[in-house]
Amino acid sequence: MTILDIVTYPAKSLAEPSEKITEIDDTIKTLIENMAETMFEAPGAGLAAVQVGVNKQLIVVNTTEGDEAENSYMALINPEIVESDGEFISEDEGCLSVPELRATVKRFNRVKVTALDPDGNAVELNEEGFPAVVLQHEIDHLNGILFLNRISSLKREMYKRKVKKWMKGH
C-alpha cells in the first residue's frame, strides 16, 4: 500500500465536481486501499479521491470509534445524499486539504446516503451526528465544495490571506 500526497487549497482541482465511476476495476480497488492508508496516516475521519488528485466519485470514511486498535473503514463509490434533516453545528471541523484551519460549520443532523460498495453492491446508510457530518463533508468534496465555502466570509478571507503569505514564503 502507498501513502498518497494530499492535494491542498488553493489547488483548482478541489473546486471541480468529480466524475462518476462506471467500472470498479483493480485500479479503483487499489486506489481505495491507498486512500484508506493515507487517511489513517494523516490522520483523518474521511478522504475523497479528489483530495489525492483523482477526479472520481469515491470516498473512504473511518469507522473506528475511540481507541480501537483496528483501523476499519468504509469505501463508498458514487455516494449521494438522498435525504437530510435537522440542523447540527459541527464544531472544530477540519479538512486534510485545508491545513491549519478548524471552524464551525452548519450541517444536517441526519443524512441518508446511497452508494456502491467496492464489490458494486448498493449500500444505504442512515447516519446521525458526527458520522453524518463526515459523509456530508466528503460528499461536498465530490461536488467541488470545500468546507471553506461553508464558513463565515471573514474567517474564509483570513485563511486565504494566511495561505498567500505561506506561498510567498516557500
Distance separating alpha carbons of residues 96 and 88, to the nearest angstrom? 21
Distance separating alpha carbons of residues 136 and 79, to the nearest angstrom? 10
Would you call 83 a catalytic residue per the annotation? no
Distance separating alpha carbons of residues 136 and 110, to the nearest angstrom? 10
Distance between terminal CA atoms of the chain? 30
The set of cell numbers assigned to 102 is 478548524
Residue among 37, 93, 127, 138 flagged as catalytic = 138
Q: CA nearest 24: which of 95, 96, 123?
A: 123
Q: CA nearest 53: which of 18, 88, 20?
A: 18
Distance separating alpha carbons of residues 33 and 3, to the nearest angstrom? 10
Active site residues: 138
